[in-house]
Amino acid sequence: MSDAARAADAAPRPVTGPRIARLARQLEAARDAAARDALTEAFWEGAARTGTPLVEPLDADPGHRAVTFLWRGHRATRQVLLMATGIGDHGRRADTLLHHLPGTDVWYLGYRLRADHRGSYRLVADISPGPAPADPALLQRRLAALTAHGVADPLNPCRLPVRRRAGESSVFALPEAPAQPFAGRRPGIRRGAVERHTVAGRAPGEAREVWTYLPPEGAGLSGAGRHSGADRSGTGLSGADRSGSGRPVPGPLPVLVLCDGGMWFGRLGFQDTLDALIADGALPPLVVLSPDAEDTGAGGGGTGAGDVGPRPGEPGGSEARAALAAFLTDALLPWARTRWPLTADADRTAVSGQGVGGTTALYAALTRPERFGRVLVQSPAPGGPPGDGHQAPGEADRPLDGRDQALDGLAPGPDGQDRAPAGGARSCGPVVHLALGLHDGAASAAHGAALVPALRARGHRVVRTVYNGGPDHACWQGLLADALVAAFR
């Protein structure tokens, strides 16, 4: 099946789920208000038991499910907005307004989704006085303002932290979505050590906050860098985890440089996934160096791994990417190797990122192949909004600056054809593990589609994965674990 056919098959389509249709029929046939109230209460009791969104089979369509998002409103509820990664268009937010079942407190919105879909979402109720604006432009403005107040689904216990906010998103995975067996904290296994450090760059005044992960075998080395006054630990790990009780470090350790440490370690707890992978023998003990998304130098002015789009007033993000790549290769890796026994073998050194950070990781690997032999990229984006490298749920297709090309020279030629180097020569470079989401958004989808043949034409081995989701940590956390296993096995 072609990518276009996959995308069409996975495209969300509005549908009324069986349980909502049945409730509507029952309400219509109810003899009085008391009977309608009893039916509504029974519906909510059922939703609380099964959890939400409601996931139901569709007759004669076993490859898809009816997925119904719910909100329990009250008299002041004017409208309810769904913000879901890969569902709807942020430029037409009214398309994802929930429907109200008249005479009840039930608000609902159903979609036909392919049975391997995974994603995160938030909901927000508009309780503003007066009716919603009738003018589409004013309504769009109202709904856009509401997005800052989105919350997790009260009836869905599966949660995911939201970037740069105290709140959470809810996560749903349909029955055929790829398993994520290493996600979450697993009891009874040995723990690695996580710390934060301030690492100076090569440019005057440049400094970045970096999260580090040391495996259980190297947890006793977690204080090796503390002689620097700028080093700061802080993950609440137990004394045993930091005491040196781990087994001896098995020689030079593989290295992963992972963009956006604040999200991966500060919010998502990715160390739990690493601990589980190592405990099961799926991943060798390795060290992770994970710079924050924003630099912290008083005069640095650079951008971090998750914040590599052009800043206001800048023509593009290529200079920011070059600066970050220089920091990763010329400052961060040498800094880490003075503290821990890390490999210098490029084939055992990987760099990874997601979204705009993924494009930066790819740039770093392609421009410094002597440092990085593997690059693990999810949902690479050609650019991003100033000051933010990641989208919140429901904001997967923001306009991108066409001047900010992700990688110069890695797009098809004018006739749309990629060409191998003259004479059939094959270049040597990093292996690219590339994961592309069917709901990454039009600009990112086009960018990802162009990367694959361009990279292969230049001699790179590309391990390509297509998944039914969008630019979403709910998907990325499993994809990154899978890519790590493939890269370091």
* Per-domain residue ranges of the chain: 10-173, 193-488
What token pair was written down for 335? 């800094």
Tell me the pairing of strands 374-378 and 431-437: parallel
Distance in Å from the first CA to the final CA of the chain:
29
What value does the CA radius of gyration of the chain take, rounded to a whole number of Å?
A: 24
pTM for this structure?
0.84
Tell me what the mean pLDDT of segment 175-200 comes to. 96
Q: Are 370 and 427 in contact (CB under 8 A)?
A: no
Specify which residues 391 forms β-bridges with: none
How does pLDDT run across 380-432, given as a tens digit for each residue? 988 543 333 334 443 333 333 333 343 453 333 333 333 333 333 334 689 99
Q: What is the mean pLDDT of the chain?
A: 83
Collapsing DSSP to helix, strand or coil, 3 comes out as: helix
Mean pLDDT within 77-87: 96
Under the banding of pLDDT at 50, 70 and 90, the label for residue 261 is very high
Q: Which of 95-104, 185-194, 198-207, 257-266 has the lowest mean pLDDT?
A: 198-207
Judge: domain 193-488, CATH 3.40.50.1820: yes
CA distance 331 to 327: 5
**Average pLDDT for residues 469-486, to the nearest whole number?**
97
Mean pLDDT of all residues in 311-333 = 72
pLDDT at 231: 40
Tell me whether the omega of the peptide bond preceding residue 215 falls within 30 degrees of 0, making it cis: no
The model's pLDDT over 132-154, given as tens digits with 9 standing for 90+, comes to 899 999 999 999 999 999 999 99
Running DSSP on this structure, what letter comes out for residue 365? H
Q: Please report the pLDDT score of residue 382 as a whole number.
A: 80
User: What's residue 3's pLDDT?
Assistant: 76
pLDDT, residue 416, reads 36
Provide the CATH topology of domain 10-173.
Answer: Immunoglobulin-like (2.60.40)
Q: What is the pLDDT of residue 396?
A: 38
458/67: higher pLDDT: 67
Question: Residue 317: its pLDDT value, please?
Answer: 61
Directed axis angle between helix 33-50 and helix 18-29, to 10°? Answer: 160
Q: Torsion-angle region of residue 136: left (phi > 0), alpha (psi -120 to 50) or beta?
A: alpha
Question: What pLDDT, in 10s, does the model give residues 201-226?
Answer: 988 888 999 999 999 977 556 544 43
The pLDDT of residue 248 is 56
pLDDT value of residue 29: 96
Least confident of 114-123, 290-299, 330-339: 290-299
